Structure formats: C-alpha cells, structure tokens
Structure 1
Amino acid sequence: MKNILILGALFASAFFCNAQSINDGLLYTGEDLKGTARYRGLSGAFGALGGDLSAIGSNPASSVVFSNNFAGISLGIQGNSNEANYFNTATTSNTTDVSINQAGGVLVFQSPQSRTISKFALSLNYDITRDLDNRINARGISPISVSEYFLNNANGIAVDNFIPFPNESNSELYQFLGQNFDFGAQQGFLGHRSRIINSTTDDPNAPDGNSDLENTVYTSATGTGNFNQDYLVETIGYNSKISFNGALEINNKWNLGINLNSHVISMERFTSIVESNSNADASISDVSFNNTLFTDGNGFSFQLGLIGELTKNIRVGATYESPTWYTIEESQIQDITTIGSNGGDRVFVRPDIVNLFEPYRLRSPGSLTGSIAYIFGKRGLLSLNYNTKDYSQLRFSPDDSALFRDNNRAAQNNLARANSIRIGGEYRLQNWTLRGGYRMEESPYNNKEIMGDLTGYSLGLGYTWGKTILDISYDRSERDFSQQLFDTGLDTRTGVLNTLDNIVISLSFNL
C-alpha cells in the first residue's frame, strides 16, 4: 500500500487548486466593449438612447425606441497586442481574430394612440462580450527556477507515492494521486519522475534511485544561479450573451424593459514554460512544462431598464444588471520534458490522463448604470454613461471548498468597487453619420500594480440607403496588468501592456 504521509496544508487544498483564482473569475465574468459598429463608434454610451441592437444588451428599454422592425449582423476584426517585460526583457506578442460578433432583431408593435401603452417590442440579440483569443510571451533571465514550483508541491509527500509499482504505469499513478491526494501531489509526481526534483535521500544504487521511501523532503536538480526562461500563455475562445428582451413605451415618453440573458464561456488555455541553465551544480539543464486547460460554462442573468424623455432634447436612462450565476466545468492535461546536463538523458513524462474537475459555481457582481443624452434634433447627439460595479462581491461556490473560501476572502480583500465612464457623440450629414467616443474603466483591484485603469477611444462612420444601413467603427483601448507565472514557487510576475484594436462592420435593415 502507498504510504500516505502528507502535510496538513495539502489536505486543505482543492484538487483543482491550480485552475481557479480571482483572476480567472474576472476573466470569465468580465466584458469588453461589444456589439454593433454604431454602438462601438460611441464607445457604448447608449444607456439613454436605445435604437441599437447592442444597446439592448446594456439597457433593455432600448428595443422599444425603434420605430419599426429591425435586424442586423456585425463582423468584428480584433487585433490583440501584449508587450511583456520580464526581468528587463521586453517581448511583444500579437494575435488577430475575425468573427461574427453580433446578430439580432427587433419586432415592434404599435398600439392605438389613446392607450397608455403606446407600443411594445420583442427582441433577440447575440453579442460576443469578450473575445478570449490572446497570447502573452515573457522571456528573460530569472534567479528562480521552475523547479521551485514542483518542490513546493512535493515537499511533505512521501517519495514512495511518486514511484510506480512494477506493473503500474505513470498514467495510473498520476490518476491515483489525483483521486486520493490532490492536484499538488500530481505536480510533485511530475517533478520527481522528470528528475527536476530529487528526494534528499536519493541513492543511485538503491531500487529506483531511492533508499528511504518515507522521505518527504526534496531538492532541486537545476542548481543555483540564473535561468533562461520563455513563458507562454495562449488562449482561444469567447464569452457570449444572448438577450431575450421585452419592452414597452408608456404615454409616448417612458420606456421600460427587461432582459433574460443566457451566457456562455468557451475557452482553451495553453501554458508553457521552457527553461535552460548552465549552472555548475545542476544535473538538469533544460525543462519544458506544458499545461492545457479547457473551460466550458453556462450562466444566467437579468436586467431591468428605463429610458425617459425629460424634454424634447434631454433623455435619461437607468439599468440594473443582476449578478450572473455561472456553472463552470474544467479539465486539464499536462506533460513535462527534461534534459540532463552535458547532454544527459532526455526524460519525457506525459500521463495521458485528463483531469476532470468537479463543476463549480461562480457569481459575478451586479451593476448599476445611469445615463443622460442630449439630442440636437435630427443633426446629432451627445451621450454619457456612468456605471458602478463592486468586484469584491465576486463569489465562488460550493462553500465547503477551502480553496473557494480562500478565493472569496481574496476577492473581499483585494478587489474593489470600480466605476466606468463612457462618452459618445454622433453628427449627421444627409445620409452620412460621423461618430466618436471615449471610455475609462477603473481597475477592479485595490492595488493597481496588479491591473491598471483602462482607457479607450472610438471612431465611426455610417451610411444609410433608407431601409439598409452600413456602419463601420474603429476602437482602441490600453491597460497595464501583471501576469503571475505560477501560483507557488515560481510566482514571479511579468508586467504587460495590453492593447486592443477592433474594426467592426455592421449591416442593418429596417423591415
């Protein structure tokens, strides 16, 4: 029987402790500027305006502003650039993605003018709320080896648990450790089997190189000195939202609406670190460690919205967006390769086991938005949105998980209420429309060195042929953040400047 000798701290860890964190919670629940070219041309400042398909996803009262049935579809082209600075070495990575990022339609029903409810609308709209295609590459010379990650996970676990029985494969033992210990024990196993860490009692003359199977202390095989590291994170996927909407207009002045929203998360994240060294006391000179995480989630939220006409020229809007309640499933595969110093043996460990993690629940914070717009007759408009969201209310469950309790405490202690402002304007010249906008979103973190404020601007152009409308927009945003390599051991951070450039083309029809 395997010796079960493990530090108590590891009992408190979740099997999937390396998969979920408040950073993941923010990634899964956050939204970028989304939607149609007209909406993005005004930087999303549509809360008091309506009459746009993507505006329905921000304020449910927007649908009844349409005077007739309407449909549209949008094509988005996103350029994503990350400049990482790791130990004073700058590395830039770029990705480009093309997608149908919006589609929807509205049915408008007129009522007799004598009735209090002058008209009502039903609509359905789809938006990609966050394009997750991204690449971050950090390269530099670090004083800390990736072996520290495996040491922190292995220390406290008897080495007997990392040595397969004569007829037991690496895959079977890896699976056993996941089912009977935790994710950390699997990481210790990968480190020991790949020889990047050694038991302090390793004896090359003993069976499997070890003379004390109950030893629980390990040392690094990468030596002391400097380590050339190439760290890569690549993600593909998206967050999307489908809004089922109903709205009504009261006395030709006040619009009320409700959205029932279905959310989808689909993401694949590949993480790799390649490390080399020429340390005199190292028995391992090269390491390549790969992880692939698959995430699928579904969620529900609702929104309540109001748009009112205070005067002929002034409109106001208000929106309450509920928390989004997600159920998320994740799985992961891993492999590691090491090469001995001075052209030594190459060891490749791939368990060929997919870690299937227990589904968990994630609740995003709700938000409130207030809006005001000034309409210059048929010539143009100016609009402003102000949104507030308390990110410290981010919650993981079930509550009986020690990891999730830690995550929830971390959210309360490290996340904050963040406000955002969006300003947009539109000017019409016969069949042409010129647009522009600006937005600022505060960091969700108390410590802005982890993530800074976002700033962005937008430009747009539209042309109408009566029943057919073509719009195009360009928007750009920038934000600084820091990327932590691993959750333990090699927990160094690299600074990243992220720049998003988007071009959106929308084709719409008055029906």
Structure 2
Amino acid sequence: MKNILILSALFASALFSNAQSVSDGLLYTGQDLNGTARYRGLSGAFGALGGDLSAIGSNPASSVVFTNNYAAVSLGILGSDNTSNYFGTNTITETSDVTINQAGGVLVFEGPENKTVSKFAMSLNYDMTRNFDNSVNARGTSPISISQYFLNNANGIALDNFIVRTGDGETVGDLYQFLGQDFGFGAQQGFLGYESFLIDSTDDSDLDNTNYVSNTGTGSFNQDYLVQTSGYSSKFSFNGALELNKKWNLGINLNSHVISMERFTSIEESNSNTDASITDVRFDNTLFTEANGFSLQLGLIGKLTENLRIGATYESPTWYTVEESQIQEIITRGTNSSEVARVRPDVLNIFAPYQLRSPGSVTGSIAYIFGKSGLLSLDYTSKDYSQMRFSPDNSDLFRNNNQIINESLERAASIRIGGEYRVQNWTLRAGYRMEESPYANKNIMDDLTGYSLGFGYTWGKTILDISYDHSERDYSQQLFDTGLNTSAGVFNEMDNIVFTLGFNL
C-alpha cells in the first residue's frame, strides 16, 4: 500500500457502499457459541449452573458457584464450509483456523460464619465471541452486469467531475480523493467506472452531461464473486458475585468488547456480447473495521431445592464506536485483449466514526442436578433485534438503516439444552441449540440449528475438557447494494473442536 493518500473527510451521510449496512451491524454485534470446551459441550446451556468461566459471560452469578480458585485456557480449531448457489451453479469454499478462544480465572472467598454473605467471587475472563475467518465464493451466469453498479452511482453527476486534468498535474488519486471529500463515496464509484472505460457519457462533448451508458453490452455475464473475511470479536468480562445465605447468587459483569475485521471482496466478470467494448472486469475492495464497545450484565442463580436450580440474566445493549477504512481497484479489458485499463487510486478512504448499538437480551434458565452423577439444563433467551441502532441520527444513511431495521428485523428467541453424565473421573456431555433468525423474512437468513458433544477427564487438580460442536444455517449473500443487487443462496456449516486445560488452585 505504497503512496497511499489518507482521506479523513468522507462523511457517513454521503456513503453508498456495502459498508455500514444492516447486515454489517448484525455481523459485528452477533455472537457465536464460544468459550470453554465444557461450556460448548453443553451447547452453552449454563444459565442456571455456573461453575464455568465462560458461563460467567452468560450469567454473572456463575462465578460464585466455584468452590475454589480456578483458571483455564482454551484452544479452538474452526472449520467453516459454505455452499453457494448463484443462478443454478453450486460452489463450495472451505476455511479453517486455530485460535486461543478463551482464557481467564476466578478467585473465591468464603464469607464469615453465620453471615448473610456466605461467599463472594471475583473473576476476569476473555472469550472470542465471533471468529470472522470465512470465505464465500459465488459463480454463475447473471443477466445483470457489474457495470450497473457504476452506472447507478455515476448518473446524476456531471461529466466535468470525472475528467482528470493531467495537464494541470492532477492524478487519478487526486481526483478520486477530491470526489470523496466533496461529493461522497458514490461519486468515487462512478469515477472508477468512467476512468476504466466500463461506462461512458452519453455525450462526451457536454461537460455538464449527467447521463451514462454501459460498455459491457446486452446479454449474459459470467461472474465470479468472492468475499473473504478475517479477524475476530471478543469480550473481556470483569466480574463480581455474591452468595447469599448459601441459596441465592447475584453477580454483575462489566464487559469490554473489541472488533477487528478485514473483508476482501472481489468480482470478476466476462462476456462475449456482440455490442460490448469491455469484455472483462475485475473490481476489488478491501474494508478494514475496528471497534470498541461496552456492556453490562446482571445475573441471578437460585437453589430452589437441593437438586433444582433457576437462573436469570439481563444483558444490556452494547454501545460500539466503529471506525472503517477502504481501498479499491478496478481492472478492465476491451475487445482488443491487449488493451487493459487499471485504475488504482492508491487512496485509503477513512470514513467518519459512527456509533452502533446492539440489542440487549434477557435469559431464563432452569437446571436439575442428579446428585453427583449428572445434570440437565435449559436456557431460553429473547432478543429484540429491531432495537439495533446506527447513529448519528443526522446521517441519511443511518436513518435509512434504522428504518430498514424497524421494518425487517424482529424479536428472536434461542433455546439451548445440555446434559452431563459423570463416571468416576470421566464426564460425558451433549447439547442442542436453536437460534431464530433476526429477520422477519427467513429467505434473507434462516434459523440456526446446532448440536454438541464432549467429554472431560479429571486428575488431581487438573482438568482436560474436549468438545465438538456443529451448526448450520441458510442465508442470502447480496453482491452489491445497488445496480448488481443479485443474491447467492449460501448454506453455511461450522464445525469446532475445543480443548480446555483447567487448574484448581
């Protein structure tokens, strides 16, 4: 990224891009099944159980269930398979990754005898809440060209704004930067299309002309669309909890959230249309996202009887400050294959920071303990996704996003069921989960279903837990927000193996 010019004046209200969309808001704020192998072995059904470091992230009262000081670290192996269908053509992509996805510890303190506070605990835990390492490839023959994306952005902007004055020492990067600062992201897209000969003015002699035409002709277009993401979102939980009268546990989490993601999107298009002067196109975008956020949780666990427990958790919205930047490049080839146009402005667009508020949630839990032989547990969570919000409110883009959120997102529930059976030093685990789609229209995103298996072995003060979990979901991958707004159907399968090494201290 040599000689990159830094832009600092691209206002969010002027943007018209795949960034800062409703689907991005859900991607940034969503959480996968995460945490220790024991937690994942029960599919996260720990709201009324506690006694696990990742369970603290579900219910803050969990920390005081520990009987002694404890620390653990978890290693995760991720596998993600995506099968896309784009105009009848199936394409499979696979991604794998190895991460440290959990680390933390808890300190437990016994209270004075015959006092209301019989025990209290403090803990610090890190969980990777989402691994963004993923790849989706969609290939097929479309009736719509990528040129329509550039046309939609160029129409309405005078040709005079797309002419590079090389005689005055102006460069492609200079004009691209000027358009971003004075006209917005959409004008930059129109300029890329014009400068690469993908689109032309309907009247080259009129510098005030605002109408453009495609050079890819009419007919069909062979397209190869790729989106690759990498990075993570994580949560640091600072926890405190009390045990009252050896029956009721109360806890609070103060959570710090971090998002770091890079997304590369590329589309390659070719055609053999007789009226086309441009036959091949490649358009690349790289988006960088960094965000920090804060949330809090309140939790309760109660022992109704020696065997029956209940739990309740309130999780506040998470308030994020998001910063994004982007770099672009387009390459086209004409009917004379030796003629190639490459437009790389070498300008990094830095978008104005914005705020994103994720929806809060409430969870109710119940568990039954079969003495020392095992347990069954169930969690039910409700989250109103229509409460997600972009700001500042004076942005046209964010007002539009919030309107889409109100119209297309709804309250969704998730159910997690888990069980554990102990045989001497061994523990066997299994779980099931179902998460409803946040969309009212499930053609955009369907429900997620998953199951898990696991086991643990204890020797001395050391515990080794291993889990496997699988989940699957159908969703729609839209290529661009305007012009080429066709979609590929994607069937996503995720498989995770997690190893947790724990130590009773």
Fold match by TM threshold 0.5: yes
> What's the counterpart of residue 199 of structure 1?
201
Q: Secondary structure at the match of 1:472?
A: strand
Query: For 1:243-295, what per-residue CA distance to the aligned partner results, in whole angstroms no more than 9, with x for missing partners?
Result: 00000000000000000000000000000000000000000000000000000
Q: Distance in 1 between matches of 2:17 and 2:400?
A: 11
Unaligned runs of 5+ residues in structure 1 are: 1-10, 202-209
Q: Distance in 2 between matches of 1:496 and 1:17?
A: 22
Is the Cα contact below 8 Å between 2:12 and 2:352 reproduced in 1? no
**2:480 is equivalent to residue 493 of structure 1:** no
Is the Cα contact below 8 Å between 2:445 and 2:474 reproduced in 1? yes
In structure 1, which of residues 167, 174, 177 is the aligned counterpart of residue 176 of structure 2? 174
> What's the counterpart of residue 124 of structure 2?
124
Q: Distance in 2 between matches of 1:53 and 1:182?
A: 46
In the TM superposition, residue 298 of structure 1 has moved relative to its aligned partner by: 0.1
Is the Cα contact below 8 Å between 1:452 and 1:481 reproduced in 2? yes
> What's the counterpart of residue 340 of structure 1?
334
Query: For 1:142-174, what per-residue CA distance to the aligned partner results, in whole angstroms no more than 9, with x for missing partners?
Result: 010000000000000011100111221000000
> What's the counterpart of residue 146 of structure 1?
146
> What's the counterpart of residue 248 of structure 1?
242
Q: Distance in 1 between matches of 2:501 and 2:336?
A: 62
**2:47 is equivalent to residue 47 of structure 1:** yes
Matches within 5 A, 1:85-104: 85-104=85-104
Q: Which amino acid aligns with 2:189?
A: Q
Q: Distance in 2 between matches of 1:13 and 1:329?
A: 15
Q: Distance in 2 between matches of 1:13 and 1:85?
A: 34
In the TM superposition, residue 14 of structure 1 has moved relative to its aligned partner by: 2.3
Q: Distance in 2 between matches of 1:307 and 1:217?
A: 65
Is the Cα contact below 8 Å between 1:239 and 1:266 reproduced in 2? yes
Query: For 1:18-54, what per-residue CA distance to the aligned partner results, in whole angstroms no more than 9, with x for missing partners?
Result: 3111100000000000000000000000000000000
> What's the counterpart of residue 135 of structure 1?
135
Is the Cα contact below 8 Å between 2:71 and 2:502 reproduced in 1? yes
Q: Distance in 2 between matches of 1:95 and 1:385?
A: 30
Is the Cα contact below 8 Å between 1:15 and 1:178 reproduced in 2? no
> What's the counterpart of residue 5 of structure 1?
none
Over aligned residues, Cα RMSD in angstroms?
A: 0.9
> What's the counterpart of residue 306 of structure 1?
300
Matches within 5 A, 1:87-486: 87-165=87-165, 166=167, 167-201=169-203, 210-486=204-480
Is the Cα contact below 8 Å between 1:369 and 1:385 reproduced in 2? yes
Is the Cα contact below 8 Å between 2:420 and 2:429 reproduced in 1? yes
> What's the counterpart of residue 4 of structure 1?
none
Q: Distance in 1 between matches of 2:17 and 2:224?
A: 24
Q: Secondary structure at the match of 2:14?
A: coil
Q: Normalising by the residue count of structure 2, what TM-score does the alignment of the two structures yield? A: 0.97
478 and 221 in structure 1: CA distance in 2 versus 1, 3 angstrom threshold:
same
Is the Cα contact below 8 Å between 1:223 and 1:281 reproduced in 2? yes
Query: For 1:112-149, what per-residue CA distance to the aligned partner results, in whole angstroms no more than 9, with x for missing partners?
Result: 22110001000000000000000000000001000000
13 and 325 in structure 1: CA distance in 2 versus 1, 3 angstrom threshold:
closer
Unaligned runs of 5+ residues in structure 2 are: 1-10
> What's the counterpart of residue 63 of structure 2?
63
Is the Cα contact below 8 Å between 1:17 and 1:403 reproduced in 2? no
Q: Which amino acid aligns with 2:287?
A: L
In the TM superposition, residue 345 of structure 1 has moved relative to its aligned partner by: 1.1
Q: Secondary structure at the match of 2:383?
A: strand
**2:497 is equivalent to residue 506 of structure 1:** no
Q: Which amino acid aligns with 2:353?
A: P
In the TM superposition, residue 13 of structure 1 has moved relative to its aligned partner by: 5.0
Q: Distance in 1 between matches of 2:93 and 2:17?
A: 28
Query: For 1:297-317, what per-residue CA distance to the aligned partner results, in whole angstroms no more than 9, with x for missing partners?
Result: 000000000000000110000
In the TM superposition, residue 341 of structure 1 has moved relative to its aligned partner by: 1.1
Q: Secondary structure at the match of 1:446?
A: coil
Q: Distance in 2 between matches of 1:81 and 1:191?
A: 34
In the TM superposition, residue 12 of structure 1 has moved relative to its aligned partner by: 10
Q: Distance in 2 between matches of 1:231 and 1:125?
A: 39
In the TM superposition, residue 90 of structure 1 has moved relative to its aligned partner by: 0.2
Report how many residues are paired: 493
In the TM superposition, residue 229 of structure 1 has moved relative to its aligned partner by: 0.3
Q: Distance in 1 between matches of 2:420 and 2:337?
A: 66
Q: Which amino acid aligns with 1:287?
A: V
Is the Cα contact below 8 Å between 2:15 and 2:397 reproduced in 1? no
In the TM superposition, residue 344 of structure 1 has moved relative to its aligned partner by: 4.6
Is the Cα contact below 8 Å between 1:43 and 1:422 reproduced in 2? yes
Q: Normalising by the residue count of structure 1, what TM-score does the alignment of the two structures yield? A: 0.96
Q: Distance in 2 between matches of 1:60 and 1:502?
A: 25
Q: Which amino acid aligns with 1:267?
A: M
Structure 1 outlier segments of 4+, above 4 Å: none
In the TM superposition, residue 212 of structure 1 has moved relative to its aligned partner by: 1.2
Q: Distance in 1 between matches of 2:16 and 2:270?
A: 28
Q: Which amino acid aligns with 2:150?
A: F
